[in-house]
Amino acid sequence: MAENDLNRRIIERGSALFAAIADEKPALFNSATWTGRVMEWCLGNTGFKTSLLRFVDVFPVLTSHAQITDHIRQYFGDGQELPPVLARGARMAGMLGSVGGALLARAISANIREMARQFILAERPDELSDRLAALNRAGFAVALDVLGEATLSHAEAEQYLTTYLQLLELLSAEQSRWTTLPGLEEAPPVHLAVKPTAFFPLANPMDFEGSVSGILAPLRILAQQVVRAGAFLCIDMESHRFKGITLEVYRRLRAEFRDYPHIGIALQAYLRDSEDDLAGLLAWAEEQRTPIAVRLVKGAYWDYETVRAQQLGWPVPVRTVKADSDAAFERMAAVILKHHPICHLACASHNIRSIAAVLETARSLRVPESRYEFQMLYGMAEPVRRGIRAEAGRVRLYCPYGELVPGMGYLVRRLLENTANESFLRLTFKDQADVARLLHDPAEHAGQPASVMEAFAEEFRNEPAVDFTRSEVREAFPAAIATARSRSGQIVPLFINGRDVATTDRLASRNPNRPSEILGQVCQAGSAEVEQAVAAAAAAFPAWRAAPAAERAGCLRRVAALVREQIYEQAALQVLEIGKQWDQAHADVAEAIDFLEYYAAEMCRLAVPCAVGVVPGEENRLYREGRGVAVVIAPWNFPLAIACGMVSAALVTGNTVLFKPSGLTGVIGRRLVELFTAAGIPDGVLNFVPGRGSEIGDLLVDHPAVALIAFTGSLEVGQRIVRRAAPLHPGQRQFKRVIAELGGKNAVIIDDDADLDEAVPQVLASAFGFQGQKCSACSRVIVLEAIHDRFVERLVETARTWRLGPAESPAHAMGAVADEAAQRKILEYLAVGREEGRLLYESPVPEGEGYWVPLAIFGGIRPEHRLAREEIFGPVLAVLRAADFDQALAWANAVPFALTGGLFSRSPEHIARAGREFRVGNLYLNRAITGAMVGRQPFGGAGLSGLGTKAGGPEYLAHFMDQRVVTENTMRRGFAPAVS
């Protein structure tokens, strides 16, 4: 059939469907119900919509009426301002006092539950039987999907499987009560949909194979029962992050149960690569002679996918124009229908145009009716579902089942979907867009330029985060690690005045996970080499200071380009030399690139002499320039990024540098210097002087020719540097400036309304990522009494899933700590923790070589305990129980460190108050407290955590320069040039 002929028939079919349901409205838009009125308010008022979505989201954890009314007040204002729709539900406005408040809370709770019931079929098994029977009588088939909290622990994953197994048993017994529906004679009556990641809490694209097999193990158990019961199993597609894993799980499951056709997968038409995925799956099915089934949807995570991709610097994986998704849906449906002998289609859409397209395409291809069906979400688009049932005879309702409370996330998604401007249902039933427009061929609208990324065009952009969903990225790591290993063990010389300098004193740099593996023998500088390096740097200084800023910035940009080219090689070296996990290592290298590019751009901005104090007859120009010889002393924990940040800031501002890496990461330090050499840095401008802090640290700091010391490390060493840098030594011509970023004792507060699905994994990532060896790491978690036990239970259960082992395997969330000294110190603190508090969890540690310490969580810690005051710099987390928010905030601020902090809360007032009163250099609200991004979160602490210079921020470079103001009297004999 010609294409425009098909399109004409689709429009005719769609028009007929519209005509058949012309007088009906879905319950959601029925203003006689509370839900309908609330939806109406949402449509007219975006502020209300945001508040409502947030309120519905927090509602499940609010346990008392007082808490509910308090949140209503915070989200919607007090009684007078309360939107009538909320007040009317309670038949009262202005009643947030104690008695009225309780009534209001009760009324609103009832209304929200009613709203949830609109979308959720049943909460308990006994309700389920009757509702299913009723739907069957009304002529609808069903697919059941179990709602729940995010699966964080093995126990929660097991519960998910158990729930499905019980559900299957229940439905198998129930099905005898149902009549076979016309058109669905060949379809199994029992139909289950599952979320694959809920079976396995460790699912993570970095460990692709581990994730696939981890999901398959429990899923296989369910599949066996599904086959035995003759039911249907559909594997849902979740976020793009898990798409590759889900497709692979599906292929393997299909292959295992080759002869059983009723196992399907959902595909999302809104993904840009969905058509390729479909083609791949069909080719696989044909080659394997294995029938498959596809539930074709448009996709429910559009906002999430676009926001996340923009934050991580990735191309947006979803189509940004709605019509593009609609057009892709039609094309994909047509491809499946053409392959109907091997692929069954479930058309899951409420869009009448999409449905009509499937009906007409199937008719034109003469596809037997048993090879395609229609699915709709329970609680939505009731007129459409009735219309399609009348037209096609077979409609399956996708029914969420489970407790309303954990099901709220689902409810929020549905509300978002229904109130989106481009929602077909909204356009159809609320805005009453004209039928011709709604039935227009989406292919004719498709392909307009994306708008989402445009707003993001700025000069500096962060290096994109690593994307392990791409197989080439996953494969790059083992290869790069093997290469790095093959080059290990070499002698690493100093670099002074453009030449390698070898010394006989050497320090072996070891792999913490395998200390017998030596990455390099790093030559150590003594006093003679320090003198030589200082002399070289001092001699190179005048010319380097005089070089145009653009030239110095150009050098940084060339280094950034080189690092980017070698990103896997550089990351692999970190995996081996300091034991970073793949993602952590990649993030460190990406941050180094960011520092280089950000400081290059900043210097170009600062290099323009700025006019100050404009008055006629006088010109004032402010110049900034390098101070002289800078000593850069770096820690091991961000071996490339921090070193590179300090070195590049010192260089780009016109200083010459002596760089001393940590003794634990000398090989990485040397690589950094090689990159600058390759980028053409002149001789003497950057000198590499590795050495023991205790031996050459004082020599470097005391040297009279040194103008500036940039240090990142411990409070102990930082203090010493500040003290020693103060006195003037003979021959010294300027005061030394010290830039110091020091330790932390960072706290995260868990408010009584926190979202534990978020708080638990984020606290764990903040506390134990890279073995807790980050200055920003969470080492205290202060939990409000009301939520303490629930939080701690999930925290510990989730911590149990963390597997310890060498960092080079992506299956290990945690590896060995940096060296033997760190290991000893941490083990000592474990003993302290046992005395001061109660050990809640201590992980097993791997056998064999490696600087292993367990991941440990202590409860019952008080603010005066050592565990609550001293920086441990390892995977030890102290849990403090606070009576209320005031106390939590006071405890958080009670230590002299003030580096990072965090709060998980859904109370707008507490969030605002933390912003004002939680006094740390970097405060994070409702997210992890590590992973500051250059340019977005200028990083550094106050108190004893540092001198407040904020690396990666707009004022950082100023600390590396002196300012000079030149004032010229421009008046000559009474004439002054005009002031512009």
DSSP 187-220: S-S-EEEE-GGGG-TT--GGGHHHHHHHHHHHHH
- Shortest distance, position 662 Cβ to ligand NAD, whole Å: 4
User: Which residues, at least 6 apart from 491, have a Cβ–Cβ distance to it below 8 Å?
Assistant: 502, 506, 520, 521, 523
For 67, left (φ over 0), alpha (ψ -120 to 50), or beta? alpha
* 127's tokens: 């309700």
Within positions 646 to 685, which residues make up the interface with ligand NAD, using CB under 6 A? 660, 662-663
C-alpha span between 771 and 237 (Å, rounded): 32
Helix, strand, coil percent content, the chain, rounded in steps of 5 = 50, 15, 35
Using the rule CB under 6 A, which residue among 520, 639, 697, 806 binds ligand NAD?
Answer: 697
List binders of ligand NAD among 743-782 (CB under 6 A). Answer: 743-744, 775
Report the residue from 712, 798, 823, 930 that binds ligand NAD according to the rule CB under 6 A. Answer: 712
Residues 622 and 606 sit within 8 Å (Cβ to Cβ): no
Residue 444 annotated in active site: no
Q: Which is nearer to ligand NAD, 662 or 798 (CB)?
A: 662
Regarding 690 and contact with ligand NAD (CB under 6 A), the answer is no
Taking CB under 6 A as the binding criterion, the range among 7-15, 32-40, 65-73, 693-701 that sits at the site for ligand NAD is: 693-701
Nearer to ligand NAD, 202 or 872 (CB): 872
Minimum distance between the CB of residue 562 and ligand NAD, rounded to whole angstroms?
24
Query: Which member of 247, 666, 871, 953 binds ligand NAD (CB under 6 A)?
Result: 871
Of 4, 80, 516, 694, which one interacts with ligand NAD (CB under 6 A)? 694
Contact status: 946 vs ligand NAD (CB under 6 A): yes
HEC-encoded secondary structure of 501-555: ECCCCEEEEEECCEEEEEEEEEECCCHHHHHHHHHHHHHHHHHHHHCCHHHHHHH
List, in sequence order, every residue forming a beta bridge with 404; answer none if it has no partner. Answer: none
What six digits make up the tokens of 918?
A: 């939680």
- Please state, in angstroms and as integers, the Cα–Cα distance from residue 35 to each residue in 30, 85, 382, following that order: 8, 10, 15
**Closer residue to ligand NAD (CB): 101 or 902:** 902
Name the minimum Å distance from CB 951 to ligand NAD: 7
Q: Which is nearer to ligand NAD, 567 or 717 (CB)?
A: 717
Site string for ligand NAD, 890-929 (x = CB under 6 A): ---------x------------------------------
CB of 945 to ligand NAD, least distance (A): 6
Q: How far is the CB of 414 from ligand NAD (least distance, A)?
A: 43
> What does 571-638 look like in DSSP terms, one character per residue?
HHHHHHHT---HHHHHHHHHHHHHHHHHHHHHHHHHTS-EE-S-BTTEEEEEEEEE-SEEEEE--SSS
Which is closer to ligand NAD, CB of 371 or CB of 660?
Answer: 660
Indicate whether 873 belongs to the interface with ligand NAD (CB under 6 A). Answer: yes
Helix (H, G, I), strand (E, B) or coil at 487: coil
Q: What is the 3-state secondary structure (H, E, C) of 424-476?
A: HHHHHHHCCCCHHHHCCCHHHCCCCCCCCCHHHCCCCCCCCCCCCCCHHHHHH
Closest separation between CB of residue 489 and ligand NAD, Å?
A: 22
Residues of this chain, 123-182, that bind ligand NAD according to CB under 6 A: none
Q: Please pick, from the candidates 478, 693, 846, 860, the single residue that binds ligand NAD as defined by CB under 6 A.
A: 693
Please, what is the Cα angle at 218 between 278 and 397, to 5 degrees? 55
Axis-axis angle for helices 908-917, 65-76 (nearest 10): 70
Question: Residues in contact with ligand NAD, total (CB under 6 A)?
Answer: 33
Min dist CB 707 to ligand NAD, Å, is 16
**Which of residues 541 and 897 has its CB atom nearest to ligand NAD in the complex?**
897
713 near ligand NAD (CB under 6 A)? yes
Query: Which position among 714, 734, 809, 887 is part of the footprint of ligand NAD (CB under 6 A)?
Result: 714
Can you tell me the distance from the alpha carbon of 936 to that of 402, in angstroms, rounded to the nearest whole number?
Answer: 40
Nearest distance from residue 635's CB to ligand NAD, in Å?
3
Which residues, in sequence order, are bridge partners of residue 522?
492, 507
- Exposure b/e, 793-810, CB count within 10 A at least 16 = b: ebbbbbbbbbbbbbbbbb
Nearer to ligand NAD, 51 or 637 (CB): 637
Residue range at the interface with ligand NAD (CB under 6 A); choices 73-81, 372-380, 490-498, 707-715: 707-715
Q: Mask: binding to ligand NAD, 584-623, rule CB under 6 A, as x and -?
A: ----------------------------------------
Closer CB to ligand NAD, residue 63 or residue 719? 719
Please report how close the Cβ of residue 637 comes to ligand NAD at its closest, in angstroms: 5
x/- track of binding to ligand NAD for residues 722-741 (CB under 6 A) = -------------------x
Residue 640 near residue 669, CB atoms below 8 Å: no
One-letter amino acid at 40 equals E
Looking at residues 621 to 640 of the shown chain, list those that interact with ligand NAD (rule: CB under 6 A): 633-638
Is the CB of 459 or the CB of 716 nearer to ligand NAD?
Answer: 716
CA distances, 754 to each of 559, 709, 749, 880 (Å): 43, 42, 9, 16
Which of the ranges 12-20, 34-42, 264-272, 696-704 carries the binding residues for ligand NAD, by CB under 6 A? 696-704
> Would you count residue 583 as binding ligand NAD (CB under 6 A)?
no
Residue in 477, 428, 486, 453 with CA at minimum distance from that of residue 209: 477
Determine, following the binding rule CB under 6 A, whether residue 642 of this chain makes contact with ligand NAD.
yes
Does the footprint of ligand NAD cover residue 118 (CB under 6 A)? Answer: no
Minimum CB distance to ligand NAD smaller for 551 or for 698:
698
Q: Which residues of 621-640 are buried (b: 16+ CB within 10 A; e: fewer)?
A: eeebbbbbbbbbbbbbbbbb
Least distance in Å: CB of 937 to ligand NAD?
12
Which range in 280-288, 369-377, 494-502, 715-723 contacts ligand NAD by CB under 6 A?
715-723
Which CA distances in Å does 749 have to 520, 746, 787, 798? 42, 10, 11, 18
Is 740 in contact with 946 (CB distance < 8 Å)?
Answer: yes
d(C-alpha 535, C-alpha 579), whole Å:
36
Distance CA 392, CA 374 (A): 8
User: Could you give the angle at the alpha carbon of 534 between the alpha carbons of 595 and 688, nearest 5°?
Assistant: 45
Q: Is 966 exposed, middle or buried (0-12, 13-18, 19+ CB in 10 A)?
A: exposed
> Of 424 and 659, which CB lies nearer to ligand NAD in the complex structure?
659
**Closest to 596 (Cα-Cα) out of 951, 958, 932:** 951
User: CB neighbours (10 Å) of residue 413?
Assistant: 16
**Of residues 437-456, which lie at the interface with ligand NAD (CB under 6 A)?**
none
**58 vs 816 by CB, closer to ligand NAD:** 816
Is residue 524 near ligand NAD by the rule CB under 6 A? no
Residue 312 Cβ, how far from ligand NAD at the closest point, in Å? 23
Q: How far apart are CA 488 and CA 511, in angstroms?
A: 10
**What is the rounded distance in angstroms from the CA atom of residue 753 to the CA atom of residue 783?**
11
Shortest reach from residue 768's CB to ligand NAD, in Å: 16
Strands 514-523 and 506-511 turn out to be antiparallel
Stretch that binds ligand NAD, among 28-36, 65-73, 418-426, 694-702 (CB under 6 A): 694-702
Tell me how far, at minimum, the Cβ of 529 lies from ligand NAD, in Å.
15
- Structure-token pair, residue 951: 């690396």
720 contributes a contact to ligand NAD by CB under 6 A: yes
593 versus 642: smaller Cβ distance to ligand NAD: 642
* Active-site residue, from 305, 577, 741, 836: 741
Residue with tokens 């993570």: 204
Catalytically active residues are 741
Residues within the interface to ligand NAD (CB under 6 A): 633-638, 642, 660, 662-663, 693-694, 697-698, 701, 712-714, 717, 720-721, 741-744, 775, 871, 873, 899, 940-941, 945-946
